Amino acid sequence: MRNRKGKSFVLIKRISGLALCALMMAWTANTALAAQDPEAPDQKSYTTSYWGSPAESPDPYVIEGRITGEKSGCGNFSGPSDIFRANDGNLYIADTGNNRIVVLNSDGKFLKEFKGADSAAGFHAFNAPQGVFVTADNEVYVADTQNGVVVHMDSLGNLIRTIEKPVGAVVSDTMVFAPTRVVVDDAGRIHVVSLFVNQGILEYSQDGGFEGFLAAGKVNPNPIEVFWKKISTEAQRNRMMDFVPIEYNNITLDSDGFIYATMAAMSKDVVIAEILSKKGTEEGTLVRRLNMLGNDIMRQQGFYPPVGDVDVTGSDLNFYGAYKGISTIVDVSCGDYGIFSILDNNRKKVFTYDGEGNMLYAFGGPNVAAGGFIAPISLAQDEERMYVLDAATGAVTVFRLTDYGQDIHDAIVLFETGSYDKSSEKWREVLRKNTNMDLANSGIGKALYRSGDYEEAMKYFKNASDKEWYSKAYKEYRKARIASAFPYAALALVAVFLFFTVKNLYARIKHFLKGGKA
């Protein structure tokens, strides 16, 4: 019965998918994209279950529209690399191929562009800038990649200063400085990610002086490789690959001033091992939350560490189509209360996690005909929108938060701010929309636990596969059960004791009456 229902469901989906595809194809015709087979992977949203398999969920975000350079009125983007949402709501796009920074308003209308920075000494023209950052007072930092400098200019495009390749004892002269991303924290410290630099994030002080490298990736060579390297000759050793730490590919600041940094996986095997063990380790981390000392303080309390897709073999064609393998994380975007999203260039999806590292949802996808991405490169968000920049199509896909996504967000915020009962109500709302949502079960369970209803809480925690909280609830439940059962148990013990005493006594008396000694 269930199967039949499933089949007709799929059929309906396919038919509606076809209609949708036809519509989308007509719409995207001007971008000259190859239309995809409607049977191809679609844009399903899902969460990852405790068992590591995708569990379909309602869409947390739906596509609201697409911003292209043509439509905005500034000419198409060419291989754009970065999108940044400034505090005033404007979008800054690093249009790398056209050597400019484009500023759009939140509706995607063109406001202005920077081809370079003006100064008394002359015009500094950008050369393939890959990163842009805007401070709270609208000063713009541009990672001017090919020029090898970070440009700091005011909101009108007047050069304030340039930040050059660092000098100092820890920097070799041969180091190539090709900044790709830049963020500036509230204290004015500047953090730069550069190509070919694997010592970590370059950190500059407020006045532009180089301070050092932050959070260098650890090298974790394979013991077998170390062994071979030990026994090989000098010439052989030179031909071997060096053990180098992995480079960061993107950084973002969150509202608390912590840096989220992403990196592509060093080794597929490390990430797969981490997924299988369900534990987050430093080696397999693809996204880090760094404090000022460069320590990773990312919480990893979810079923799986935040590495994007967990089902690495991707056997479920319904969800993945032809896409397999581990996620390639290219950007991270932070919401409030520790919620963050990462962008996967392999599966073309956005994965969102809460501050504890629980996966909330994955959305987006590779089906171009249905609004998917070809080469998603950058992610930005505001309260209700998510912007995904695609380097290949040069378009920004604008997603809008749905009721479902809003409910999840509200439930988390209410819990974080201490309104547990209200949070529980929101979670019930989420659960009504998506019975697969483990976190909702967990959230309701926590509220029940706080109200002292341990038995009911246990049910929800079990549904959520939340062993830690189940254990806590069971401990209290067991305590209560033992306390209530204790009088009866004691009574039974006394009864047994009395029975044997009486029996013994009876035997003695009988023995005595028969004339034996007592």
Measured from the CB atom, is 28 or 57 closer to other proteins?
A: 57
Measured from the CB atom, is 206 or 471 closer to other proteins?
A: 471
* Residue count of the chain: 518
Q: Give me the least distance between CB of 477 and other proteins, in Å please.
A: 10
> Strand (E) positions, 35-144?
46-48, 54-56, 61-68, 82-85, 91-95, 100-104, 110-114, 116-119, 122-125, 131-134, 140-144
Site for other proteins in 346-385 (CB under 8 A): none
Please give the torsion angle defined by the CA atoms of residues 156, 160, 166 and 169, in that order, rounded to the nearest 10 degrees: -160
Distance CA(100)–CA(93), nearest Å, equals 8
List b or e across 330-351, with b for residues whose CB sees 16 or more CB atoms inside 10 angstroms: bbbbbbebbbbbbbbbbbbbbb
List b or e across 398-429, with b for residues whose CB sees 16 or more CB atoms inside 10 angstroms: bbebbebbbbbbbbbbbbeeebbebbbbbbbb
Using alpha carbons, select from 289, 252, 262, 261 the residue that is nearest to residue 134: 252
Q: Give me the least distance between CB of 2 and other proteins, in Å please.
A: 12
Considering the rule CB under 8 A, would residue 242 count as an interface residue with other proteins?
Answer: no
Measured from the CB atom, is 302 or 364 closer to other proteins?
A: 302
Distance CA(381)–CA(405), nearest Å, equals 14
CA 495 to chain centre: 61
Considering the rule CB under 8 A, would residue 428 count as an interface residue with other proteins?
Answer: no
Which of the ranges 110-118, 213-221, 374-382, 465-473 carries the binding residues for other proteins, by CB under 8 A? 465-473
Reduced to 3 states (helix: H, G, I; strand: E, B; else coil), residue 340 is strand
Q: Give me the least distance between CB of 470 and other proteins, in Å please.
A: 6
Considering the rule CB under 8 A, would residue 279 count as an interface residue with other proteins?
Answer: no
Measured from the CB atom, is 330 or 473 closer to other proteins?
A: 473
Ordered alpha helix ranges (H), 333-437: 403-416, 420-433
Six token digits for residue 79: 């291989």
Angle in degrees, CA 11, 367, 37, rounded to 5: 60
Measured from the CB atom, is 204 or 474 closer to other proteins?
A: 474
Size of the site for other proteins (CB under 8 A): 10
Which of the ranges 81-89, 238-246, 295-303, 464-472 carries the binding residues for other proteins, by CB under 8 A? 464-472
Q: Give me the least distance between CB of 480 and other proteins, in Å please.
A: 14
Considering the rule CB under 8 A, would residue 474 count as an interface residue with other proteins?
Answer: yes
Measured from the CB atom, is 55 or 195 closer to other proteins?
A: 55
Binding mask 18-47 for other proteins (x = CB under 8 A): ------------------------------
Q: Give me the least distance between CB of 220 and other proteins, in Å please.
A: 29
Distance CA(165)–CA(204), nearest Å, equals 11
Site for other proteins in 44-63 (CB under 8 A): 51
Considering the rule CB under 8 A, would residue 470 count as an interface residue with other proteins?
Answer: yes
Residue from 14, 218, 432, 475 touching other proteins (CB under 8 A): that is 475
Distance CA(362)–CA(303), nearest Å, equals 15
454 contact partners, CB below 8 Å, separation of at least 6: 448, 473, 474, 476, 477, 480
Site for other proteins in 477-516 (CB under 8 A): 478
Residue from 467, 503, 510, 511 touching other proteins (CB under 8 A): that is 467
Considering the rule CB under 8 A, would residue 472 count as an interface residue with other proteins?
Answer: yes
Using alpha carbons, select from 344, 351, 352 the residue that is nearest to residue 323: 344
Measured from the CB atom, is 211 or 316 closer to other proteins?
A: 316
Measured from the CB atom, is 51 or 499 closer to other proteins?
A: 51
What strand order describes the sheet that includes 210-214? 178-184, 190-195, 201-204, 210-214
Considering the rule CB under 8 A, would residue 471 count as an interface residue with other proteins?
Answer: yes
Measured from the CB atom, is 432 or 467 closer to other proteins?
A: 467
Distance CA(225)–CA(94), nearest Å, equals 40
446 phi and psi angles, rounded to 5 deg: -65, -40
Which of the ranges 59-67, 178-186, 373-381, 469-477 carries the binding residues for other proteins, by CB under 8 A? 469-477
Considering the rule CB under 8 A, would residue 462 count as an interface residue with other proteins?
Answer: yes
Q: Give me the least distance between CB of 79 and other proteins, in Å please.
A: 44
Distance CA(389)–CA(396), nearest Å, equals 4
Q: Give me the least distance between CB of 53 and other proteins, in Å please.
A: 9
Considering the rule CB under 8 A, would residue 468 count as an interface residue with other proteins?
Answer: yes
Residues lying near other proteins in the complex (CB under 8 A) are found at 51, 462, 467-468, 470-472, 474-475, 478
